Amino acid sequence: MIGLKSDRELAIMRRAGNIVAEVLNVLKQSIKPGIETIELDRQAEALIRKLGGRPAFKDYKGYPANICISINEVIVHGIPGKRVLRDGDIISVDAGAELEGYYGDAAYTYPVGNIDDESKRLIAVTQKSLEKGIEAAVAGNKVSDISRVIQDFVEANGFSVIRAFIGHGIGADLHEPPEIPNFVMEECNLPSRDADPVLENGMVLAIEPMVAAGKYAARILSDGWTAVTVDKSRVAHFEHTVAVRDKSPEILTLCQKKNR
């Protein structure tokens, strides 16, 4: 079942989303050469709790940190630690917060110091693909309409959409139906109503394209979490929590006082 959120639930999710947006905004200022990724994790936890939330990822299915930090060829679920950011890296920060039983989830990719032109373009294309996916999140469209615009834009720009990880519904659980692929699953054998549901007013989706500069093949490292590209090409990742509306989708993971 794909749940439709009430006005009360959406109001809470806006507040949870605001916490996530504030965290990403603050961490952006700290992302510089020389900082250890564990320090970013500490800052995120402190701010989430200060704002009245709970880190959504800590202990989720055993995940050991408060946020995910994925550098260069890491696709997603990178674990913060002693690694020091270097000039020229790109870093994706995925943050989630729970508030009063509801979740917000978002991710941004940032440059560390001076980055090369291909990395700049990778970040720009991935962010734009998210914007295009969000524009398609209106009632009456299907999930595949989101998937198609993301895939078409990414591939037209010479990059690859990661297949191993996809977006999802979100609400009282961090991961809810429906699944939101960033590519069109034409080969899927599931009944169309399950594989490609029609979007309805009140659905809330975490749309999150992950885009590789090279090929999309992925593997998981020995820690059981960190996913990397097989060819070690760089990856950018952007995500917003989005409420489906009849005419224009609403992004819930934006700072309410001043959008970034």
Q: Please give the pLDDT value at position 95.
A: 98
Rounded to whole angstroms, the Cα distance separating 197 from 135 reads 17
pLDDT tens profile 147-193: 999 999 999 999 999 999 999 999 999 999 999 999 997 644 444 44
Q: Please give the pLDDT value at position 195.
A: 76
pLDDT tens profile 40-69: 999 999 999 999 999 999 999 999 999 999
Residue 213 has pLDDT above 70, yes or no: yes
- Tell me the residue ranges of DSSP E strands in the chain: 54-55, 68-71, 74-76, 90-99, 102-111, 160-161, 167-169, 176-180, 204-207, 210-212, 218-220, 227-229, 235-237, 240-243, 250-251
Tell me the whole-structure pTM to 2 decimals: 0.95
Inter-residue contact 74 to 227 (CB < 8 Å): yes
Residue 256 has pLDDT above 80, yes or no: no
pLDDT tens profile 5-47: 999 999 999 999 999 999 999 999 999 999 999 999 999 999 9
pLDDT tens profile 69-79: 999 999 999 99
Any idea which fold 7-251 has?
Creatine Amidinohydrolase (3.90.230)
The residue extents of the domains of the chain are 7-251
Residue 152, CA distances (Å) to 144, 148, 193, 229 in order? 12, 6, 23, 21
pLDDT tens profile 219-237: 999 999 999 999 999 999 9
Q: Please give the pLDDT value at position 247.
A: 87
Q: Please give the pLDDT value at position 255.
A: 86
Closest CA to 41 of 21, 59, 23: 23
pLDDT class for 257, splitting at 50, 70, 90? low
Q: Please give the pLDDT value at position 186.
A: 64
